Homo-oligomer: A and B are copies of this chain.
Amino acid sequence: MSYHEFALIDWIRQHVAGHDRLTTGIGDDAAVLRFPDPAECLITTDMLMDGVDFRVGEAAPERIGRKALAVNLSDIAAMAGRPLAAVVAVALPRRGGMELGRGLHSGLQKLADEFGVALAGGDTNSWDGPLVISVTVLGEATVRGAIRRSGAQVGDWIMVTGRLGGSLSGHHFDFTPRIAEALALHDSVALHAMIDISDGLAADLEHILDESCVGAVLDSAAIPISDAALATAVDGRSPLDHALGDGEDFELLFTVSPDDGWKLLASPPFATQITHIGEIVTGRACQLRAPDGSLVPLIASGWRHWFES
């Protein structure tokens, strides 16, 4: 990190200096953090680009900044961890970059404050290209450890928070990272595997299945469909297709024993909806049970980056 670059957004200084986890300010090459527990440090990074993850001009800079931090907090939630600090690197377009940078920071700071995250520093750049913002979040696992994707067991219930699909209509900017829900789940039951839904339910379930070497059957009638997915059905795809395939729901997808599943439904540890959507089975197939009881293969249709050779 470079002081003179970062000083462009020097109103960060007062916030940085005020956070109790930071023992140094931005006037140094690296931020120094007090780490409460050395056992398990979580680190995650996500880069968002204009034209891919948002469009400058369509979305307010505050919402873009908020999203850049929120997607990282969602990754910490997926591990049932607590977020502690974030660093932010941006490439700002030269034209209007100062104003854009202020808006980004405002959105970042507000969400960081909500979750007790220290904005520990960053790297502010200008260039002739479009806006790029990259956030790295540090967190810690709780005493119960971090939850991986690899722990799903045959017989587990597959469960999900919230309702799915249609995120592009606004949810992908305004979602609340499920930090509190993940910690409450981790506290209430034995989580076997967990992931946040960023690529789409089917695609992210596939990640759990791949890492856990198991299969799954989802109950199509049980998938909780968002109002936005119901509204977008005019595009020819069904609301269920949207709920299964759309990315950026940023809900938690997790597996637990049936006993723990019943317990969660009987005494939900938070107000956010929890739904039992299927079971982990032997084999490696991922199937969808139609209302008539027939099984069809579930194809992961989530977002993937592509290249030309």
Contacts and interface: CB of A to CB of B under 8 A. Distances in A.
B121 A44 contact: yes
A145 to B, nearest CB: 9
**Chain A interface residue number, banded:** 35 or more
Contacts of A125: 47, 49, 52, 305
A155 interface: no
Contact of A1 (B2, B4, B75, B203): B75
A276 interface: no
A248 B89 CA distance: 18
A123 interface: yes
Copy tally for this chain in the complex stands at 2
A23 interface: yes
A4 B199 CA distance: 8
B32 A146 contact: yes
Contact of A31 (B43, B78, B149): B43
A43 B87 contact: yes
A167 interface: no
Most buried by B among A8, A85, A134, A306: A134
A128 interface: yes
A30 B44 contact: yes
A32 B51 CA distance: 31
A256 interface: no
Interface in A271-309: 302, 304-309
A67 to B, nearest CB: 14
A87 B136 CA distance: 8
Interface of A: 1-5, 8, 23-24, 27-47, 49-52, 74-76, 78-79, 81, 85, 87-92, 94-99, 120-130, 132, 134, 136-139, 141, 146, 148-150, 195-196, 198-199, 203, 207, 210-211, 302, 304-309
